[in-house]
Amino acid sequence: MHIKENIQRFKNILNDESVRLIAVSKTHPPELVLKAYEEGVKDFGENKVQEMVEKFEALPKDIRWHMIGHLQRNKVKYIASFVHMIHSVESERLLQEIEKQGQKAGRVIDCLLQVHIAREESKFGLSEAELLELLQGPTLASMRYVRICGLMGMATNTDNGDVIRQEFRQLKALFEHIKTLPPQPNVEMEQLSMGMSSDYTIALEEGSTIVRVGSAIFGQR
Ligand SMILES: *Cc1c(COP(=O)(O)O)cnc(C)c1O
């Protein structure tokens, strides 16, 4: 494991572009997270609620925890008091639960809306139509404890770089389109979370502002 060297490499790549690195620590023990933390990484991504809670309790409190995986509504309550950003919001019902738990916790929770851009059936996310409906509908406008900060997407898992590039480009175009819509009080389109170990280079070229990198930092899971 060369966590230190891997992180240094990403710092060099990302510094010039002011892109945020999220180290995806899912399945890895707290000791490894701490190694990355000691190299200056403060943002970590997890895809399971229980694992995130355990690491939150065990690790330094200035770590910013990002929920990047499919989130069940009945589990929002366990992370609402501390989660830094939820990247995987893909329904109005989930957003309503985040609003409810944000109110209970007395804090506004930053969220990204996950958009389905991959050609695969299996990937979660809102369709373009669902996304626009949610963004312009009355439910979101009435919310006080969620802030939509941007979009998240996962490209198809393929070696074909053209396919990946096209999907990221489509997401970036959608992101730019939303910025032209009438402003909503709790929507600020600032972050575009796209790119992981296998495709972050393409994502950066296509305008990503946040990359979520696991195996290229921590090794294979
Ligand atoms: C696991 C995961 C990542 C990181 O994947 P790597 O290939 O290990 O970089 C990024 N985003 C999401 C949503 C993930 O679940």
Ligand 1 pocket mutation pick from 49, 212, 213, 218 by most atoms within 8 angstroms of CB: 212
125 lines ligand 1 (CB under 6 A): no
Residue with tokens 């730019």: 176
Q: What is the pLDDT of residue 123?
A: 67
Mean pLDDT on 21-25 = 98
Cα–Cα nearest to 21, from 221, 208, 206, 178: 208
Phi, psi of 88 (to 5 degrees): -115, 40
The SS3 call for residue 86 is strand
Q: What is the pLDDT of residue 15?
A: 78
What's the 213 CA to ligand 1 centre distance in angstroms?
6
Any idea how long the chain is?
221
Domain 3-218, what architecture? Alpha-Beta Barrel (3.20)
155 lines ligand 1 (CB under 6 A): no
- Contact partners, residue 91, CB within 8 Å, separation at least 6: 126
pLDDT tens by residue, 98-126: 999 999 999 999 999 999 998 877 668 99
Predicted confidence (pLDDT) at residue 221 exceeds the cutoff of 90:
no
192 lines ligand 1 (CB under 6 A): no
Positive/negative CA dihedral, 102, 105, 109, 114: negative
What's the 211 CA to ligand 1 centre distance in angstroms?
9
pLDDT tens by residue, 153-163: 999 999 999 99
Q: What is the pLDDT of residue 1?
A: 61
Mean pLDDT on 130-146 = 96
pLDDT tens by residue, 35-58: 999 999 999 999 999 999 999 999
157 lines ligand 1 (CB under 6 A): no
pLDDT tens by residue, 186-219: 999 999 999 999 999 999 999 999 999 999 999 9
What's the 137 CA to ligand 1 centre distance in angstroms?
31
**C-alpha distances out from residue 68 to 8, 109, 111, 178, 196, Å:** 23, 14, 10, 22, 12
208 lines ligand 1 (CB under 6 A): no
What's the 185 CA to ligand 1 centre distance in angstroms?
31
pLDDT exceeding 90 applies to what percent of the chain? 93
197 lines ligand 1 (CB under 6 A): yes
Q: Which atom of ligand 1 is nearest to the CA of 198?
A: 7
Q: What residue spans define the domains of the chain?
A: 3-218
What is the distance, to the nearest Å, from the Cα of residue 148 to the centroid of all Cα atoms in its chain?
A: 12
Q: Contact, 110 vs 145, CB < 8 A?
A: no
Q: Which residue's C-alpha comes closest to atom 5 of ligand 1?
A: 214
pLDDT tens by residue, 168-188: 999 999 999 999 999 999 999
Cα 195 to Cα 211: distance, rounded to the nearest angstrom: 5
Q: What is the pLDDT of residue 50?
A: 98
What's the 196 CA to ligand 1 centre distance in angstroms?
6
pLDDT exceeding 70 applies to what percent of the chain? 98
